[in-house]
Amino acid sequence: MSQQTQIPELDSVGLLRYAWRQLTSMRTALILLLMVGVAAIPGSLFPQRTQNPLQVGQYFKDSPDVARWMDRFYLFDVYGSPWFSAIYILLFISLIGCVLPRTFEHFKAARALPPTTPKNLSRLEHHQSWSPKGDELELARKWFKAKHFRVLEVDGSISAEKGFTRETGNLFFHLALILILLGISFSSLFGMRGEAIVNVGERFVNTPTSYDTLNYGKLYKDSNIPAFMLTVDKFVAQYNLETSAPEDYTLDVSLLRDGSTTIEKKRIKVNSPMTIGTTRVYLQANGYAPVVTVRDSKGDVAFQGPVTFLPQDANLRSIGAIKVPDADPQIGFLGSFLPTYVRDGANGGASAFPKALNPRLLLSVWSGDLGLDSGIPQSVYRIDTTDMKQIGLKGLKPGESYVYEGGSITFEGYVQWVNLNFVADPGKHLALLGGIVAILGLLASLFTRRRRIWIRVGDEVEVAALAKNAAPGLELEIQGFVKMLKGEK
Amino acid sequence: MSRSWAFASNYLVYSAMAVYAISFLAHAIETAWAVKVPTDKSSTLDYKRTEKVARIATAMMILGFVLLFAGVIARGISAGRVPWGNMYEFSITGALAFSGAYLLALRKFDLRWLGLLVSVSVLLTIGTAVTVLYVPSAPLVPALKSEWLVIHVSTAIISGGVFLLSNVIAAAYLYLDRMESKGERTQWAKRLPDLESLDQLSYRLVAFVFPLWTFSVIAGAIWAESAWGRYWGWDPKETWAFITWVAYAAYLHARVTIGWRGRRAAWLCLFAGSTFLFNYIYVNIWGTGKHTYSGL
């Protein structure tokens, strides 16, 4: 550098002020805005823990080293990551720093009168002049009033201004964005979200232990969970006969609220959840649970009941595991449930339709150590067969039994299960309000025009106007104004 | 009953394609003819000779719009629902919205020069729809059975149509700007509007449709709340809708607050529009998540 640049000496306050000014500058805000957009991209390219934990697990299984490095940069938790949070928090600080001073300024300006008419109107845009008839000022006054202009009248001239809504809308839009963020934060602090699989015919009692997964906000307590009980009475799924695509799911439940003795019959569908106080219950998924009875060699029942199987395809071929840890040696079954069985050479059978028209349970029987005491959590849908030996393979129709060495299993039938989501989202109304205000503000700021119109009556009538932000349409307005003044129609 | 409606819909969509193809040819002839008219290089172009062809082009565009409109309606009747259940239907409706946006804008602005690009885009969109994306007409999956489908999807499609129109204009701006900076416009390009008007028009379309896009995203959030139990879940489609929103918000700020014009603004506009296209094509077909309704 040939020139010595003078850097002003900054004390800590000055430095802070400098940093604040940089942060709240429009340029920084724009860069931050674009950065939020760019930062959101990786979350759509890599699986996220909150949406797709299974696929994240697959990354770790396929290439653990790469996955560990990706995890270090929060690429599986993009939207909760420190760097994503940093960007949007900076953006919102910048936004507040930008909007608050402007709000005060706008508030002051909105109460102030428009500036006095400039001396030389002929230099301004849309300037016109003609010789007066005498009533121009009176006519102009009426016209401005009818159109809600704010006016200042000094010595035979009127200065009129309109279009404050533009800045008002703009400010409301940005304040509404803060409102949305508040709503989201409120939900993440005071909200709760839980999932539970419930078999048709069974009851769900709303306590923390009834859930398969349960997440609360930081300030949500166990005791906030509303007490209620519901029984899943009936679940009906309808499918397209040609494509197997689902057409309708209807779930009927009986609800018993806390302190009430009457049972309410309710219906839940995919787009119409059930509302219980602040909690909403959503129907999210469904599947089959084959009912089996496992007996030991003496004929005593070692296990009996429905076992939840997970659907694998559109025709609801479902897989699962039945574990009998009390048997000696331990017994495990890996199973496929096929609601409408058809022969399939490769897999020993497939399902041709999601409804249970010809149900079949395919089982492989394993004997040995289930590994349940190893301390490593196991999936309930799989069996760790490392210390086990396959001792049998069989396909069963409902009512049929299979006898293997050391016991037998009977396929009694099946029940359907539904996956219910329980959600309390107390900030959503705030966020929605923010959304509505944002749109209204946006409309106001994009479609109103701020402009000033002046008229002076002396030796001649002079009219001029100025549009801020180069908004169109002022020329037409001035033409109309002049015609009115001249008494033309 | 529903089968004959589905058949009629296909028939109408194919007819619309043929008519759009005629419109495309007429636009092409009009554009090409205008270059040949002047005998002397300095003479201005005489459009009287191409006027007739130009009228045919616009008339065919209107006829194509009407046929496609009928095709979309028939598709809806055949399925007993609004025709926005899979990507084939999104595409034919999107093409309809795009040519509709052009025809509407044509009433107000002299945009006929854009007809060539519009008819090509519409042809390609319908062509892809009938060949690659076609799925038989069928009822909706339960998650789509909601009145929000009408509100959310229609506003998204309209926004998309207008965003793309604004993009085409921004691209035309960049092309002509380059041509002018190298010298002067070629003969046929002289009939296109000046750079300033293109710049303004592209901006106005975005400013007009940005609130609608905001509304569409919020309507989607309201629907997601009732269907999936959360109004925002960073599903890939939601993420990209957000990115598009942010990009256009940045574009509006750059123009209104910082005063970007011309080249830089046009590039930013193209970038924002490409995020919309990416969302539509990539996320629908190859993406994962809850918005995979392409039916492919």
Domain boundaries of chain B, sorted by first residue: 1-39+48-140, 168-296
From the CA of A391, how many Å to the nearest CA of chain B? 39
Q: Mean pLDDT over residues A430-445, rounded? A: 93
Q: B296 and chain A: CB distance < 8 Å anywhere? A: no
CA atoms within 13 A on the CB side of A244: 14
> Could you tell me the pLDDT band of residue A2, with boundaries at 50, 70 and 90?
very low
Q: In chain A, what percentage of residues exceed pLDDT 70? A: 97
pLDDT tens digit sequence for A317-326: 999 999 998 8
Taking the C-alpha atoms of residue A466 and residue A16, their distance in angstroms, rounded to an integer, is 39
ipTM (interface pTM):
0.84
CA atoms within 13 A on the CB side of A356: 17
DSSP string across A108-123 = HHHHSPPPPPPS-GGG
pLDDT tens digit sequence for B73-106: 999 888 888 888 788 888 899 899 889 989 988 8
User: Is residue B5 pLDDT above 90, yes or no?
Assistant: no
pLDDT at position B283, please?
79
CATH class of A125-163+453-486: alpha beta
Q: B141 and chain A: CB distance < 8 Å anywhere? A: yes
Residues of chain A with CATH 3.30.310: 125-163+453-486
Burial label for A34, CB within 10 Å (0-12, 13-18, 19+), is buried
pLDDT tens digit sequence for B128-180: 888 888 877 777 778 788 888 888 988 998 899 899 999 999 999 999 999 88
Taking the C-alpha atoms of residue A227 and residue A223, their distance in angstroms, rounded to an integer, is 9
Size of interface A-B (CB pairs under 8 A): 126
Taking the C-alpha atoms of residue B258 and residue B273, their distance in angstroms, rounded to an integer, is 20
Do the beta carbons of residue B172 and residue B114 sit within 8 Å?
Answer: yes
> Taking CB atoms and an 8 Å limit, are A29 and B138 in contact across chains?
no
| CB nearest B240 (choices: A44, A52, A439) | A44
Query: A248 contacts in B (CB within 8 Å)?
Result: 142, 145
Q: Enter the DSSP assignment of A376.
A: S
Q: Three-state SS across A170-212?
A: HHHHHHHHHHHHHHHHHHHHHCEEEEEEEECCCEEECCHHHCC
Do the beta carbons of residue B284 and residue B291 sit within 8 Å?
Answer: yes
Closest-CA residue of chain B to A434: B218
Both tokens of B117, joined, read: 């690009």
Instruction: Report the C-alpha dihedral over residues B84, B89, B94, B100, rounded to 10 degrees.
Output: -90
DSSP string across B237-281 = HHHHHHHHHHHHHHHHHIIIII---HHHHHHHHHHHHHHHHHIII
> Taking CB atoms and an 8 Å limit, are B226 and A271 in contact across chains?
yes
Mean pLDDT of chain B: 85
The neighbour count for residue A480, using CB atoms within 10 Å, is: 11
Stretch (H or E) spanning A421: strand A407-424
Q: Report pTM.
A: 0.83
> Taking CB atoms and an 8 Å limit, are B258 and A27 in contact across chains?
yes
User: Is residue B67 pLDDT above 70, yes or no?
Assistant: yes
Report the candidate in A318, A320, A339 with the shortest Cα–Cα distance to residue A237: A339
pLDDT tens digit sequence for A438-488: 999 999 888 888 888 999 888 888 899 888 766 667 888 888 888 888 887
Query: B136 contacts in A (CB within 8 Å)?
Result: 242-243
> Token match 């279009």: residue?
A163
Taking the C-alpha atoms of residue B21 and residue A356, their distance in angstroms, rounded to an integer, is 50
pLDDT tens digit sequence for A182-208: 999 998 889 999 999 999 999 999 988
Taking the C-alpha atoms of residue B112 and residue B109, their distance in angstroms, rounded to an integer, is 9
Which site among A34, A36, A38, A44 would you substitute to test the B interface, given the most B Cβ atoms closer than 10 Å to its Cβ?
Answer: A44
Taking the C-alpha atoms of residue A247 and residue B143, their distance in angstroms, rounded to an integer, is 9
Query: Please, which residues bridge with residue A283 across strands?
Result: A420
> Taking CB atoms and an 8 Å limit, are A33 and B140 in contact across chains?
no
Q: Greater confidence, B44 or B143?
A: B143
Do the beta carbons of residue A404 and residue A392 sit within 8 Å?
Answer: yes
Closest-CA residue of chain A to B137: A243
Q: Greater confidence, A352 or A111?
A: A352
